[in-house]
Structures are given as C-alpha cells and as structure tokens.
Structure 1
Amino acid sequence: MAHDSLYAAPPTVEAELGPGRLATLRGLLGSWDAVIVAALVVAVLVAGLTVENFATGRNAQFLLLDLVPLALIALPMTLIVITGEIDLSVASMVGLCSTLMGQLWLSSGLSLELICVLVVLLGAVLGAVNGLFVTGFGLPSLAVTIGTLALYRGLSFVVLGDQAVADFPADWTAAVVQNIPGTSIPVVLVPLLLLAVVFGVVLHATPAGRALYAMGNNDQAATFTGVSVARTKFWLFVVSGAVCGLVGIFWTLRYASARGDNATGLELTVVTAVLLGGVSIFGGRGALLGVLAGVLLLGVLRNALQLADVDANALTIVTGTLLIASVVLPNAVADIRARLHRRRQRQPVAS
C-alpha cells in the first residue's frame, strides 16, 4: 500500500546548498592541486602589487635560482613519501657533497668535470646507506635519516673543518647563474624541467609509478602483486642521494663556496613543499604537479617576505606553520569530501 513515509527524509545536500553552490563546493574540494595553484596565483598577484621590487626581472632570476635546489630534491622526495617513507638527511648530503667537491678541488688536482662525477657518485652512496638501513635492516626511515642527518653533517665539518673553498673557475660559477638570452629565466631551469618531466612520467604514466602508490597504501598487498618493495625503496633512496649530489654541485658553484654548513635546514623546506603540494605524509597519495606548485608557492612567500625585510626567524615560523597546515588541511578537505559523499548517498526510501 502506497503511503507517505512516517519519517521525513533528511534534507539532501542539494536542497541545503542549491545545485550551483554545491557544484562550486565540489569543484573546490575536488583537487588539492587546484587549490595550491590558485593560492600560488593569488600570492604572486598580491606580492607583485604590494612588495617593492618583487615584480622585476632581477628578482625573478634570484627567486628561480633559489627554487632550483628545493625543486630538485623535491622530485625524489615526492616518490619516497608516496611510498610511505621519508628522507630527512637530504640537506646534510648536500653539505657533505659540497665539502667533498671543495676538498677535491683544493688538493686532488683532478679536473672539475671528474670531480662533479665523483660528487654525484658520493651522493648515490650516501643515499644507498640510507636505503640499506631502511630496506635491508627494516628500520624506520624517519629514525634512520634523522641519524644520518647528524652523521653526514658532522662528516661535512670533518672534511673541511671551519674553512671554505672559494676559488672555483669563474666560467663555472657564472654558468650556473646564466640566463636564457633575452629573459630572466636561468638556463639551469631547463634541465630541472626535463627532470621533472621524467619523474612525472615515471610516477603517473608507468607501472612503476602505480607500484609506488600501492606501496604507500599497503606494503604487503603490493608485495603480493609482485612488486619488489625493498628493492624499489632502496633505489629511491639512491636516486635521492644522487640528486643531492647534483644540488651540492649547484649550491657550491652558485655561491662560489664549499662549506660544511651549506644547505643547513633545507630538509624542512623540502618536506614542507612536498606536503603542501598534497602528498600524504602517510603515503599512497599525491601528484607531482601539486608538489611543483607547492615549491613555487613556498618560494614566492619566502621571497616576498625577505623583500619586505621580515626577520629570518619569522621566515622559519612561516615555514613551520605551512608544514603543519600542509598536514592538517588536505586531511580536513578529504574528510569534508567524504562527508559530502555520504550525504549524497543518503536518499529517501520509496515506500
């Protein structure tokens, strides 16, 4: 017998918000990458209008050069975090590679080309040490890389002590800051973009990339599907170390100085950029586009605050705040999306 329900059905989301507002809300919550890109656009516009000298070619050059080390290290860090691991020793590896470069140039008599190859190999070895402890001995990557963070930084000062090596060839130091003719875009950005394309294709368009997400969601399930979890993670740490070797070379030549304290604190900025870009700290979720947008957003904010003569301690506070927000906000957005989805599924039962 047909009759009206004794209990009124709960109001639908469409009824409460209206179809137009609901569609807008779903769009905003649909992609964290889009949120970060929008925030980046707003930050650039506000800084360009309110901060003196921000919207100049000279500042754009310095901003992009500052972002090169951050973006380079963020590429392998993204893959590592997606698998559910982390590498906090990246800045210390950069420092150790920088001091080795300085020591070899100071005393070995080798060509700078050969020294650069050796430095990248050293970075790969340092990354392999991290990978061995994590995958070979089954230790947590957080604990391992906190330990090697201190170890590698200490070794940096063992190699050079408190001295700095600064007499690198002028043509090399000029090359790393050279612009593309007629622009304010550094030439070094070209290989960075090529590497970003390679990492993006691997992550988003290959079975290896799908395996990384599977590992981040469930190591054991990924193993049952034929993924070599330990070997894959090991090589990710090796790649991370090799990239840190490249960054050590760039850092040394850009500032024409090999020092034991080079890149100190960079690991916090890298992790902030990766998480701000939407990569889950728990693994299994994230995209490279969001990470690159996070790198740019973080760089723009820090650059604008520096131009505005904000104290260095305040910059650290901003970075820490963004790190916390990058963990809390994506999870809050995911929770809101889940609640909206459940409410959409709640329909009145026809009698």
Structure 2
Amino acid sequence: MRAVAGSWDAVLLVALVLVVGVGALAIEGVASPRFWRFVTLEVIPIALIALPMTLVIVTGEIDLSVASVLGLTCTVMGQLWLWGVTSLPVLVAVALLLGALLGAVNGLFVTAFGLPSLAVTIGTLALYRGLAYVVLGDRAVADYPPEWTMGAIAPIPGLTIPWMIIVVAVLAVVFGLVLHATPIGRGLYAMGNNAEAARFTGIDVARTKFWLFVATGAMSALAGVFWTLRYASARADNGNGLELAVVAAVLLGGVSIFGGRGRLAGVLAAVVLLGILRNALQLAYVPANTLTIITGSLLIVSVVGPNVAAMLRERWRRRRPVTPLPQE
C-alpha cells in the first residue's frame, strides 16, 4: 500500500481531485453534467490515440504523425462520401485500413531501415497532412446524415456521457492487459530498457515495433472517424496539433520518454486531468494561446519532473545514516 500511495499514479489522482474540487468551487459550470459531457467528448480521441502511443513510447520510440493520420483519414472519408459511398461500416473499414497502412509506413522506415522514429514521424507528420490537403484542399464535407453525427455523440441512457466512452474503456482494458499482464508487455518494457538485450532473450524487436506503429495508425484512424462524426465535418486540418495533447498526456502519465517505464492507468488519469483542466479554463475565459502554453509547460514538467524526483531520492538515500550491524 505504501508503494501505491507513493507512486506517480497516486500523485495524478490527488491532482485530479484537487483540480475538480477547486474548479467546482471557483468556476461556475464545472460541476454541471453538461461540463462533464464536453470533457468526455474532448478526451475520447486523445485517449484512443494515447493507448497505443503508451506502448510505443514504453519501447523507446515515438509517433508524432498521429494527428496527421487522423486528418488524412477524415479527408478520405469525406471524399468517399462525395463519390457516393454512403455506407458507414464501409467508410469506417476503409478508414481503419488506411490508418493501419499509414502506421505500417512509419513502422517500415523505423524497423526495416533502422531510422529514428522521431525523424521518421516528423517527416510523415508533414507528408500525411499535405496529402490531406491534396484530397480535399480547403473544402469541408459536412452533409453527413444526422443519425450518423448524432449517433456518434449519443449519451448512455440515463446519463449525459456519450456512449463512445464505453468503447474507450473496453480498448483500455485490452491494451492494459497486453501491457501489464502478458509476456508481450514484459517484452515491451525490456525493449525500452535495452533493445539489444531484448533481442538476445529471443524477442523479435523489429516485428513488435512494426505492429505497434500499425496499431497506432489504426487507432488514430478510429479517432478520425469519431472526430468527423462529432463535428459533422471532414476537413484537412482536423485534429491539427492533437499530437501535442497526446504526447503530453502520455508523458504526464508517468511514461518515460526514454522507454522502459510507465503504466497505462497513469496515462488515462493524465488524459482526464488535462481534459478537465482545459475545459475548466475555457469556462473561465482563458485565451486559447494560454491553454497551449499550459499544455506545453506540463509536457516539459512531465519530462523533467521524474528525473528531478529520481535525483532527489538518490540524494536522500545517500544522506540517510547507515545502521551498523549488530555485534556477535
């Protein structure tokens, strides 16, 4: 219990309670069901992408192209709709296949050619966003059937929270079990700590990382489908800048940017914390630029904080007096 109480997850839980409590007392509307509905709608796409991103960063890699994959998925859905494809299951299937393909391109460059994921995904970030503008240009496709758009954000019966949060919860359980309760998850941590040593233990590092990028692309596409239907609009700039929120949530959740450390529970707590904080500050009429500054600052804190905490713990350990052994 002391280990749990002293963990980063516990710190995030305390921060979450404090933000909710202070927000409810200081900002009108934070305690309303309408506020929680908008928080949930905002965190759904971030959580969908953060789930596979957690596994990717645990292995010591990163994918910065996720928001561009989301945007390209939206534009392809819009173009198919303009071409007369009116079946939602077909559009969703095409979107997921496209996202998986885009993720496979990232994974191929990283695993087959040995390129750093940071450089690769910065490049595909620009490439995929550019392709999104090639597909639709500056146009917006916004004439989807109301049953699609309203159905995507329909609440759970008796609640104001949208039903899509159930999908997120189920996927979170799946990713959590894979990461924390299977040999695959232990292999991911091993890769993050020492990829070469993981290879000597029989782990296929390249294949594992490849499929992680595929999963990240597919989940980004699913987030793109939700984004399109929630806003009833397919545009090339959909999700622009969302990768910052995703990476900030993962790192704030306690996942080390260097790999080998982190838990999915902390990431989900950070996603909710950032969503509540952002929506509460919007109710307080805080400018959008200030919100971006806050998100960036939290990203820096999430990277620097664990290192500072580790340094302080080491200093404290060295200063503690050594208890002499009892004499015979």
TM-score, normalisation: structure 2: 0.96
Q: Give, in whole Å, the separation in 2 of the partners of 1:259 and 1:35.
A: 38
Contact in 2 for aligned 1:272/1:326 (Cα 8 Å): yes
Deviation at 1:123, TM superposition (A): 0.2
Tell me which residue corresponds to 1:243.
219
Tell me which residue corresponds to 1:195.
171
What letter matches 1:232 in structure 2? Answer: T
Q: Does residue 73 of structure 2 align to residue 73 of structure 1?
A: no
Return the match for 1:113 from 89, 109, 112: 89
Contact in 1 for aligned 2:4/2:10 (Cα 8 Å): no
Contact in 2 for aligned 1:70/1:269 (Cα 8 Å): yes
Return the match for 1:172 from 134, 140, 148: 148
Deviation at 1:338, TM superposition (A): 3.0
Q: Does residue 184 of structure 2 align to residue 208 of structure 1?
A: yes
Q: What RMSD over aligned residues (CA atoms) do the two structures have, in Å? A: 1.6
Tell me which residue corresponds to 2:195.
219
Tell me which residue corresponds to 2:67.
91
What letter matches 2:293 in structure 1? Answer: I
Could you tell me the percent identity over the aligned residues? 64
Which residues of 2 match residues 269-280 of structure 1 at below 5 A?
Answer: 269-280=245-256
Contact in 2 for aligned 1:32/1:330 (Cα 8 Å): no
Deviation at 1:108, TM superposition (A): 3.8
Instruction: Give a deviation string over 1:147-206, Cα, whole Å, max 9, x none.
Output: 000000000000000000001111010111111111122111001100000000000000
**More deviation in 173-182 or 144-153?**
173-182
Q: Give, in whole Å, the separation in 1 of the partners of 2:277 and 2:138.
A: 32
What letter matches 1:288 in structure 2? Answer: L
Return the match for 1:37 from 6, 10, 13: 13
Contact in 2 for aligned 1:105/1:112 (Cα 8 Å): no
Contact in 2 for aligned 1:44/1:300 (Cα 8 Å): yes
Q: Give, in whole Å, the separation in 2 of the partners of 1:31 and 1:342.
A: 21
Instruction: Give a deviation string over 1:311-331, Cα, whole Å, max 9, x none.
Output: 000000000000000011122
Instruction: Give a deviation string over 1:43-70, Cα, whole Å, max 9, x none.
Output: 0111111111111111110110100001
What letter matches 2:155 in structure 1? Answer: N
Q: Give, in whole Å, the separation in 2 of the partners of 1:175 and 1:196.
A: 22
SS at match of 1:54: coil
What letter matches 2:185 in structure 1? Answer: G
The 3 A distance-change label for structure 1 pair 27 and 200 is closer
Tell me which residue corresponds to 2:310.
334
Which residues of 2 match residues 123-138 of structure 1 at below 5 A?
Answer: 123-138=99-114
Which residues of 2 match residues 176-187 of structure 1 at below 5 A?
Answer: 176-187=152-163
Tell me which residue corresponds to 1:304.
280
Which residues of 2 match residues 227-266 of structure 1 at below 5 A?
Answer: 227-266=203-242
- Which segments of 5 or more consecutive residues in structure 2 lack a partner in the other structure? none
Q: Give, in whole Å, the separation in 2 of the partners of 1:154 and 1:97.
A: 12
Contact in 2 for aligned 1:176/1:188 (Cα 8 Å): yes
**More deviation in 109-118 or 178-187?**
109-118
Q: Does residue 319 of structure 2 align to residue 319 of structure 1?
A: no
Return the match for 1:56 from 32, 35, 38: 32
Contact in 1 for aligned 2:65/2:243 (Cα 8 Å): yes
Q: Give, in whole Å, the separation in 2 of the partners of 1:49 and 1:350.
A: 56
Deviation at 1:350, TM superposition (A): 6.6
Contact in 2 for aligned 1:166/1:258 (Cα 8 Å): yes
Tell me which residue corresponds to 1:6.
none
Return the match for 1:47 from 23, 26, 31: 23
Instruction: Give a deviation string over 1:253-304, Cα, whole Å, max 9, x none.
Output: 0000000000000000100000000000000000000000110111111111
Q: Does residue 76 of structure 2 align to residue 100 of structure 1?
A: yes
